[in-house]
Chains A and B, each alone.
Chain A
Amino acid sequence: MTKVRVAQLSCGPEYSGVQKEIDEAAAAVDAEIFYPDINLADIRRGSNEFGLDVRSADLKLAIARGKALVEGRVEADAVFIATCFRCAEAAIVRNELRRYIHENSRLPVVSYSFTERTTAGTLLTRMEALTTIARRRALLAREVQEGTTLGVDSGSSTTKAVVMIDNEIAGTGWLPTTAVMKSAQDVIARALDEAGVKMADVEAIGTTGYGRFLVGKEIKADLIQEELTVNSKGAVYLADTQHGPSTVIDIGGMDNKAISVQDGIPGSFTMGGICAGASGRFLEMTAKRLGVDITELGPLAMKGTSGNVPMNSYCIVFGTQSLVNALAAGSTPEDVAAAACHSVAEQVFEQQLQEVDIKEPVIMVGGTSLIQGLVRAMGDLLQSTVVVPHHSQYIGAVGSALLASGFIKGE
């Protein structure tokens, strides 16, 4: 297999001690990092023409290299933009360069802000998605599920399985993740049972999520794929918006994904996972504190007004404390539920959605998309109607089952 060539546009990774991590993440998915070759005149011209007058020379270099890629002077399969976390100048360049490349080329691009603690493991899913988009455009072009296929999404909080037969969802299984394999086997059994088929009837299998490698190996999956491409595919398939632009938001148990999708293929995306306060976990904790099941949190929030509860922190610890204080001060559970939803939505909006271009339709997927209060809060922030497709909590499993049908009979 030829290596996918990922052009790196960056400022700071060598001096943060993380260049090796970037190189390793790329190597793990059979890709190689390279730096577009230009000369000093290109740098001067490139940064002038781009029109963003930055002071840091390495950012000028990154801009000029980005222009060389868009103008076709240097060939690449994908682009990785990386700058230091907390650098304002670099953040502006990172965003504008990502947008410029996304809008003016077909190159998949991911941007990332690193610290000295960034590891290859953190970067792996992003790199895998980049290379998949570059390498498997034909596979990702699939719009119809065929035959009998099984998709398994082994997530950090929950494990999901879906059996699809001839472009219909025939059976589903859903369980909190305990032991990765055990949870996977249990949800598979449920999905097969509901669909009325046996494992032997399944013609192809796809896995995704954190446990994708372990589960995939064990059940001999045909496709083991990260959740960025799989969820994008699943989202536009279920929402029936396979053509044109869309934005997919998945607030997960451990990390969040925001993906700009064009014709079902991610163009640019971000993945955040630093703060639990911006995750489904925060909502679970809120539900627990309110003494309701997580499934009741959404309807409860719909009856409340978030503005009635002062939230001083996004933090899962201090934010929860604010909610507890509000309850003690007489706030209603409805308002507290709404405030928790708003807090998570706002944090994702502020920290992640600024790094992708929001184009309608905005599709929310994953387990948290069933919490109506969260969907409403996100819609309010985006000033847009957020679409939640049927089976949205099974998004990864559906995407896997759909894409896996490409492997039937050696297709």
Chain B
Amino acid sequence: MAKVFIYPATSLILSDLVARFGHTPLSAAIQIRERIQTPGLDSPPLQITPEEPKKGLKYAAVEVPSGVRGRMSLYGPMIEEAEAAIIINDADYAFGCMGCARTNELIKFLVRSSDIPVLDLNYPKNEEEGEEFVAAIHAFLKRLEESR
């Protein structure tokens, strides 16, 4: 079972398919859950405190906006942990945790710079594309399993 970073990290489709085919999706929800279930200083809604953008300095310099650095404090550790990644490139309507384009550019860059297998896709716009989309993810994850 490999840890697979999914992009968008909020994707229902990728989360489902990765888990369905026997692997662990690394999604935004896991990071949010960790914060929501950890006692500390109250910082609703996400329990992301002003300390998180400072932690994000590991991934982006201080002149990078706080929202990028705060988001990176969620994603940076996940990317470091990931053994593979699946990226949907035309994810234009992923909001919230995935709502900042600059963060998303940095996430994709860090994923591609790390030495892990990456599957690049677009969303399936019709049923034929759906067949190839699912088959590609299935084959990618299978190869991952075989190479372990």
Residues in A lying within 8 Å of B, measured CB to CB: 11-20, 23, 40, 43-44, 54-59, 61, 83-87, 89-90, 114-117
A120 to chain B minimum Cβ distance, whole angstroms, is: 12
Shortest Cβ distance from residue A62 to the other chain B in the assembled complex, whole angstroms: 9
19 A-B pairs whose Cβ atoms sit less than 8 Å apart in the complex: A12-B65, A12-B70, A14-B96, A15-B48, A15-B52, A15-B66, A15-B100, A16-B50, A17-B43, A19-B46, A20-B42, A20-B43, A40-B93, A56-B101, A57-B92, A57-B93, A86-B64, A116-B50, A116-B70
Whether A55 contacts B48 in the complex (CB less than 8 A), given A16-B70, A90-B65, comes out as no
Nearest CB of chain A from residue B5's CB, rounded to whole Å: 18
Contact with A along B13-39 (1 / 0, CB 8 A): 000000000000000000000000000
**Bound complex: CA A116 to CA B51 (Å):** 8
Tell whether, in the assembled complex, residue B44 and residue A61 are in contact, meaning their CB atoms are under 8 Å apart: no
Most B CB atoms within 10 A — which of A12, A18, A19? A12
Minimum Cβ distance to chain A for residue B29 (Å): 15
Residue of B nearest to A12 (CB): B67
Interface size, B (range): 20 to 34
B3 on the interface (CB 8 Å rule)? no
User: Are A58 and B42 in touch, CB under 8 angstroms?
Assistant: no
A90 CA to B103 CA, complexed, in Å: 13
Closest Cβ of chain A to B136, distance in Å, is 25
Contact of B66 among A40, A59, A84 (CB under 8 A): A84
B 84-120 to A, binary, CB cutoff 8 A, 1 in contact else 0? 0000000011111111111000000000000000000
When distances are taken between beta carbons in the complex, the residues of chain B under 8 Å from A85 are 65-66
Residues of B54-71 whose CB lies within 8 A of A: 54, 63-71
CA–CA, A40 and B65, complex, Å: 27
Residues of B within 8 A of A114 (CB): 66
CB of A19 within 8 A of CB of B64, answer: no
Question: Which A residues are CB-close (under 8 A) to B43?
Answer: 17, 19-20
Additional 10 contacts, C-beta under 8 A, given A84-B66, A117-B50: A12-B67, A16-B50, A16-B65, A17-B70, A54-B101, A57-B101, A58-B99, A85-B66, A114-B66, A116-B50
Cα-based distance from A84 to B65 in the complex (angstroms): 6
Which residues of the other chain, A, contact B76 by a CB distance below 8 angstroms?
A: none
Please tell me if B11 contacts chain A, counting CB pairs below 8 Å.
Answer: no
Verify A16–B66 contact, CB threshold 8 A.
yes
User: Of all chain A residues, which has the CB nearest B44?
Assistant: A20
Across the interface, name the chain B residue whose C-beta is closest to A14.
Answer: B46
Q: B72 to nearest A CB, angstroms?
A: 9
- Among B44, B66, B74, B93, which residue has its beta carbon within 8 angstroms of that of A43? B93
- Inter-chain CA distance A11–B66, complex, in Å, is 11
Given contacts A58-B95, A84-B65, A86-B64, contact A15 B101 (CB under 8 A): no
